[in-house]
Structure 1
Amino acid sequence: MSEGHLSPNRDRRPELLALTEELRPELHRYCARLMGSVIDGEDVVQDTLTRALVALQDMEETPPLRPWLFRIAHNRALDLLRSRAVRMAEPIDAASDIAGSVSPDPVEMLMRQEAVKTAVSRFVELPTLQRSVVILKDVLGESLIEIATLLDLTVDAVKGHLARGRTRLREINAQARPLAEVRPASAAVARYVALFNQRDWDGLRALLADDVRLNQSTYPLRAGAADVGLFFTIYAKIDGVWLAPAWLEGREVIAVFEGRANPKPSYIMWLEWRDDRITFIRDYRYVRYIAADAELAVAPDATRAGDGDTHWR
């Protein structure tokens, strides 16, 4: 993948946005596992890109884009983790038997496959440095030297964290509980979904609080009932979209299917409420990579043609 260098033009915002387009899903794969949440991971990605744009204004030249953005994302995620008191200390020792070659042996490949298949939420059970190293090596395929540079560690320290992280991850997966049991939808979300599926756009607009906000990741924040109401005007022009109540990471969300018979949701929405009025809509239509790693459980009372599955990942 291209490292990405920015030209010394004065206004480099469009260039940065273009260069980050292909990096954004990869950044999310890292941040989601580091945070233990696909939703929190996307918040870190958005914050990373915002910070990068601000920093860019004061830079004559930038370092290679990919490691620069990963470093910003990593530091921001650690800040958030520290604020939650999820920090864990661990000793560092060398594990010189960790493979560092471009062509890993079969055992190395099995370890990588296990990491890729591990649910996002389970990574948070690893100490932070172990978590970072395992994600970078086994999920994203970074070299030991690249990881050492990014995390400001020695290669031997990276090997140590990797060996212990892999061992701990196998233990976590062996003891993992099954997917959480699906729960019925709340009355508020059930009403929103029913109005949407009936294409009752005026009914949906009536649910908006005066100070409602809309976040669509790559687009500017919308605020106020009149402006956010245009959200439904846009969806009115899109055929086939079908919603179902769902649960993700303990949050009640909405699974969005692009056809009523589609077997899997394409993306999610997440609403916040106050006194039966919507105060915040997060629509992840433009960052669909989130759904690829989401441990999503659709509410059992959701009526939708399809194969009957209620869990996706």
Structure 2
Amino acid sequence: MSAGRPPRNDDRRAELLALAGELRPELHRYSARLMGSVIDGEDVVQDTLARALVALEELEEMPPLRPWLFRIAHNRALDLLRGRTVRLTEPIDAAADVADEASPDPVEMLMRQEAVKTAVSRFAELPTTQRSVVILKDVLDEQLSEIAALLNLTVDAVKGHLARGRARLREINAQAATLAEPRPASAAVARYVALFNQRDWDGLRAMLAHDVKLNQATHPLRVGAADVGMFFSIYAKIDGVWLAPAWLEGREVIAVFEDRADQKPSYIMWLEWHDGRISFIRDYRYVRYVAADAELVLAPDAKPAGEGE
């Protein structure tokens, strides 16, 4: 072993990967609400785990992994948000009273329930610090002291941000519009869905660009039409999978039903196109928590679940 290189890197990596598998849904619940998007939130989770594996090699001492991963996710999300919009400013008021976290009163519990039920996209309307505090406290039920350590704030400041964030979230929910009206599927996605449901795998392979990429989150990236074409060979062995065009966060996606009698899809796919061919496939089969919080709207021409061909 070379001098200066931390020992037991294989053990560290194994410990990190084991925890990451358990923590992914929780990291996504945080990242998705911070980004205001379940899709962007999963990108943050993947970036977080990749960065953590690289950083772990250089650390002299093993950090407490859970707060360390949340800090990486938090910083990565903020980097992306800074690149997207100018951050909102917010005054630091005197800390508002927040109920004792060890024995929350009924009002406190109602606030937490409201945050959990709030649509992911609405969190984006909160200033970022308020957003982080409300998500960590009311969605993930973190301790105030742990939130303060993660965000480099005092506990009193956390209480202040929490009180203001909760109040603002109630206003947002009261003013929120209903789900968007269904939009028709594009011709390209409608064709992909039709070919898949007909089990025309060769027809689907013909739609792939020569340099197409496939991302399945927990699996290595596939690149090239030949390698990505194996994706359809795998689905050919699975009975009952049915696709429907859908819309999510303004993006055209594909809802995946594992049983046509199901009322809700099991997960989603998302395709990117270049010159009329598929250039990127994101298949969320192995990270189904992405669809759990999604405000998914099926296209009006999608066949209802349970309806025969």
| Shared fold, TM over 0.5 | yes
| 2:112 alignment partner, SS class | helix
For 1:116 and 1:259, the matched residues in 2 are separated by 28
1:226 aligns with 2:222: no
Q: Following TM superposition, by how much is the alpha carbon of 1:17 offset from its aligned partner in structure 2, in angstroms?
A: 1.0
1:214 aligns with 2:214: yes
Partner of 1:9: 8
After superposition, where does 1:106-255 map in structure 2 within 5 Å?
Answer: 106-255=106-255
Partner of 1:4: none
For 1:230 and 1:14, the matched residues in 2 are separated by 29
For 2:191 and 2:14, the matched residues in 1 are separated by 40
| 1:168 alignment partner, SS class | helix
Partner of 2:40: 40
Measured on the aligned residues, the alpha-carbon RMSD in Å equals 1.2
* Post-superposition CA distance 1:69-110 (Å, at most 9, x none): 000000000000001124111111232411133120000000
| 2:9 alignment partner, SS class | coil
Q: Following TM superposition, by how much is the alpha carbon of 1:221 offset from its aligned partner in structure 2, in angstroms?
A: 0.6
Q: State whether residues 44 and 76 of structure 2, in contact with CA within 8 Å, keep that contact through their aligned partners in structure 1.
A: yes
* Post-superposition CA distance 1:137-166 (Å, at most 9, x none): 000001111100000000111011001000
Q: State whether residues 13 and 53 of structure 2, in contact with CA within 8 Å, keep that contact through their aligned partners in structure 1.
A: yes
Partner of 1:286: 286
One-letter amino acid matched to 1:186: S
For 1:185 and 1:14, the matched residues in 2 are separated by 43
| 1:61 alignment partner, SS class | coil
Q: Following TM superposition, by how much is the alpha carbon of 1:8 offset from its aligned partner in structure 2, in angstroms?
A: 5.1
Q: Following TM superposition, by how much is the alpha carbon of 1:261 offset from its aligned partner in structure 2, in angstroms?
A: 1.5
| 1:22 alignment partner, SS class | helix
One-letter amino acid matched to 2:8: N
Partner of 1:310: none
Q: State whether residues 96 and 163 of structure 2, in contact with CA within 8 Å, keep that contact through their aligned partners in structure 1.
A: no
Q: State whether residues 100 and 143 of structure 1, in contact with CA within 8 Å, keep that contact through their aligned partners in structure 2.
A: no
* Post-superposition CA distance 1:13-36 (Å, at most 9, x none): 233111111111000000000000
For 1:130 and 1:191, the matched residues in 2 are separated by 43
For 2:101 and 2:288, the matched residues in 1 are separated by 33
For 1:22 and 1:98, the matched residues in 2 are separated by 30
Partner of 1:22: 22
1:52 aligns with 2:52: yes
For 2:302 and 2:83, the matched residues in 1 are separated by 37
One-letter amino acid matched to 2:240: G
For 1:74 and 1:109, the matched residues in 2 are separated by 25
TM-score, normalisation: structure 1:
0.94
One-letter amino acid matched to 2:157: A
Q: Which moved more, 1:256-265 or 1:192-201?
A: 256-265
| 2:246 alignment partner, SS class | strand
Partner of 2:3: none
| 1:273 alignment partner, SS class | strand
| 2:287 alignment partner, SS class | coil
TM-score, normalisation: structure 2:
0.95
Q: Following TM superposition, by how much is the alpha carbon of 1:250 offset from its aligned partner in structure 2, in angstroms?
A: 0.1
| 1:268 alignment partner, SS class | strand
Identity of aligned residues (%): 83
Q: State whether residues 254 and 268 of structure 1, in contact with CA within 8 Å, keep that contact through their aligned partners in structure 2.
A: yes
Q: State whether residues 113 and 138 of structure 1, in contact with CA within 8 Å, keep that contact through their aligned partners in structure 2.
A: yes
| 1:238 alignment partner, SS class | coil
Q: Which moved more, 1:10-19 or 1:107-116?
A: 10-19
Q: Which runs of 4+ in 1 moved over 3 A?
A: 304-307
| 2:268 alignment partner, SS class | strand
| 2:81 alignment partner, SS class | helix
Q: Following TM superposition, by how much is the alpha carbon of 1:303 offset from its aligned partner in structure 2, in angstroms?
A: 1.4
